[in-house]
Amino acid sequence: MAVLARPRSVPRVPVLFGRRIRIQWPSAQYFLLVPLAVFAVLPIVYVISTAFKPLEELLIFPPPFFVRRPTMDNFQDLLLATNALAVPFSRYLFNSVFVTLTTVLLQVLICSMCAYPLSKARGLPGANIVFAMIIAALMFAPQVTRIPQYLVVQKLGMIDTYWALIVPALAYSYGLFMMKQFMDNSVDMALIEAARIDGANEWTIFWRVVMPNVAPAWNTLLIFGFIQQWNDSFSPLVFTRSEAMKTVSVAMISLTNGPATVARLGAQSAAAFLMTAPTIIVFLLRQAKVIQTMAHSGIKA
């Protein structure tokens, strides 16, 4: 009877007799959710707290989790360390921001463009071949192709330009796969037909009808792509030569591996904090859109 008394607090619970245990479900769920959430947050808390640790606390082994005497010294050290770099830090920052944003936006556009006919015009000659290519591409470790990729980039004369950092990353297989799955599932063919009868051309349909309907998918792609590109240190290391073309992630590595590593421990932890901050911001800006709507559109096998 207790169940009948407050059905609101226990949704999805059948109102049946002899199921007393189920009344306790909600609290049991929190009992599991909260520890998991705590574990999920730990790395971030650690990174933030480490960024404010003074040098003597950074040298303790094994490192303590929380900072005891927070200080801003690390950020000053970082400024000093970056002053010693060959190129002003703002240049790295500009490179990173420019390359990441351009790549991610173009990536989303190109993957979505390709997914649209694959998903909605099944009779398109060659569509099956393209889809088979995606499946194959999903299985390859990027490391296998990196060497010849370097040769291609070199042949195209892109070495040491922004092109080398942007163009090779654009045909992203996962992105296409995901966009296609979502379009299969959450864009009704009737909607497209309706737009067509109203005289919309394919581009208008794609941009005004299909894309708004798969907003969770491209937002997810945006987040994944941003994380990936922002942290990518491989392409700038290999595809560029001059210091002025390197990105923040490369600058981070040279900070970490450079001489006087111990003295720069503070600068490193501050840099780690600053390095993660943009990805967290992008995630927080876009995640509500992704997670809330994600559940309703769904990826299907």
Partner 1 sequence: MKMRVTRKEPQLAVAGAGVGDTAATAPVRRRRRMTLSVQRTLEGYFFVSPWVLGFIVFLAWPLFQSFFLSFHELQATSLSDLKFRGIDNYKEAFFIDARFLPRLRDTLQQNLLDVPVIMIFSLFSAILANQKIKGVMGFRAVFFLPLVIGSAQVIQQLFSQGVGGAVLSRGVNVQELAFQYLGPDAASGVEQLLNRLLFVLWKTGVQMLIFLAGLNSVSPVLYEAARVDGATDWDRFWKVTLPLLSPVILVNLVYTIVDSFTDTFNQVLQYIQQTAFAGGFRLGYAASLGWIYFAIVFIILATVVRVTNRYVFYAGERNS
Q: Interaction with partner 1 in 61-100: which residues (CB under 8 A)?
A: 61-66
Binding residue (CB under 8 A) for partner 1 from 139, 190, 242, 259? 139
Closer residue to partner 1 (CB): 37 or 84? 37
Total of chain residues touching partner 1, rule CB under 8 A? 106
CB of 81 to partner 1, least distance (A): 15
**Does 42 engage in binding with partner 1 (CB under 8 A)?**
yes
CB of 159 to partner 1, least distance (A): 12
Binding residue (CB under 8 A) for partner 1 from 46, 94, 98, 162? 46
CB of 201 to partner 1, least distance (A): 8
Distance CA 87, CA 89 (A): 6
CB of 61 to partner 1, least distance (A): 6
CB of 134 to partner 1, least distance (A): 8
CB of 136 to partner 1, least distance (A): 9
**Does 170 engage in binding with partner 1 (CB under 8 A)?**
yes
Distance CA 25, CA 31 (A): 10
Interface characters, 230-269, with partner 1 (x: CB under 8 A): xx-xx--xx----------x--x---x--------x--xx
Binding residue (CB under 8 A) for partner 1 from 43, 88, 157, 212? 43
**Does 227 engage in binding with partner 1 (CB under 8 A)?**
yes
Contact indicator for 103, 167 with CB cutoff of 8 Å: no
Considering only residues 189 through 218, tell me which ones interact with partner 1, judged by CB under 8 A. 193, 196-197, 202, 206
170: tokens are: 């654009």
265-287 residues labelled b (16+ CB within 10 A) or e (exposed): bbbbbbbbbebbebbeebeeebe
Q: How many CA atoms lie within 13 A of 15 on its CB side?
A: 10
Considering only residues 1 through 30, tell me which ones interact with partner 1, judged by CB under 8 A. 11-12, 14, 22, 26, 29-30
Closer residue to partner 1 (CB): 82 or 297? 297
Q: Which range, of 69-77, 89-97, 239-247, 280-288, touches partner 1 by CB under 8 A?
A: 280-288
CB of 52 to partner 1, least distance (A): 15
Considering only residues 94 through 133, tell me which ones interact with partner 1, judged by CB under 8 A. 110-111, 113-114, 116-118, 121-127, 130, 133
Q: Which range, of 67-75, 84-92, 93-101, 138-146, touches partner 1 by CB under 8 A?
A: 138-146
Residue 250, class by beta-carbon neighbours within 10 Å (0-12 exposed, 13-18 middle, 19+ buried)? Answer: buried
